[in-house]
Amino acid sequence: MKTGFVGIVGRPNVGKSTLLNAILGEKIAITTDKPQTTRNAIRGIYTHYADDNINEDTQMVFIDTPGIHKPRTKLGKYMTDSAVNTFKEVEAVIFIVDDRLSAGPGDKYIVDMLNEVTTPKILVINKIDKMEPDVFEKIYNEYDQLEIFENIFGVSAKEGINVHDVIKCALGFMEEGPMFFPDDMVTEHPERFIVSEIIREKILMYFQEEVPHGVAVEIEQFKEESSITKISAVIYCEKKSHKGMIIGKGGRKLKGIGKSAREEIEALLGEKVFLELWVKVKENWRDSDIALSNFGYKE
């Protein structure tokens, strides 16, 4: 069996989590149109037994990393460090872009980092379903001239276009070895973590500006009973004004967040869920080592 680890890196909001979900064929990483949606490195386990499409048994662990950016808070530093450290522990790196290298400093910053490691690199130009052919060609040519990528693929992670080609390419860098995880496991993260991420995703989808980035979710109760799972979660925000916005007039906003989250959690768990949400203020938690540790953003 071929096994190994693959890192997925890129700027915020280029589609890393969407690609991971497309590779696995199910959702384990939250996705929104907000930058820095992913805060933790999320491991997705892809297990495949030989068939006509892929002629050997394989288990690859794809690591979806936070978007690499210049950090402004301790949380931002943790996220960027988490992504950069991935370069050192994988058999291959998938670098996702959705624009020309010359469009801004973000991708150049990552390319400079990739130049420092010998790990095989695969370039994925994402969102081709929204891209004119001449635009794709310009992006392709800019990156191809760097001569640091083993392969370059045009992909639509959202539509699933050419995702299989990326999987087969990554497999070429794996080595013979034992399975890391049971073949029915798609992520090593516990259900509590995924539930907290689903709640945070719904908050991100409800708000546009600064509120989402100042929000953390902590699961206080996760109790499985015979016919229902009871979950109690606290939404932490940084300002009193944000608390009022999250709750909304007459509690309507919080109820909407709860309803959307509960429906997705029920689909995840396959049973009824009673979800109770609370909102509390914890000022400047993104720059607090203690708070970051409590919320699972630091070792």
Residue 293 annotated in ligand binding: no
Tokens of 258: 């709860």
Residue 129 annotated in ligand binding: yes
- CA gap 42, 32 in Å, rounded: 16
Q: Which amino acid is at 117?
A: V
Residue 119 annotated in ligand binding: no
Hey, is 201 helix, strand or coil?
helix
Residue 67 annotated in ligand binding: yes
Residue 121 annotated in ligand binding: no
Residue 71 annotated in ligand binding: no
Cite the DSSP H helix spans in the chain. Answer: 16-24, 74-86, 105-114, 133-144, 163-171, 191-206, 240-247, 252-269, 289-294
Residue 160 annotated in ligand binding: no
Tokens of 133: 């052919």
Block residue for tokens 């992909």 = 155
Residue 138 annotated in ligand binding: no
Residue 13 annotated in ligand binding: yes
Residue 212 annotated in ligand binding: no
Residue 12 annotated in ligand binding: yes
- CA gap 259, 243 in Å, rounded: 18
- CA gap 9, 63 in Å, rounded: 9
Cite the annotated binding site for GTP by residue number: 10-17, 64-68, 126-129
Cite the annotated binding site by residue number: 10-17, 64-68, 126-129
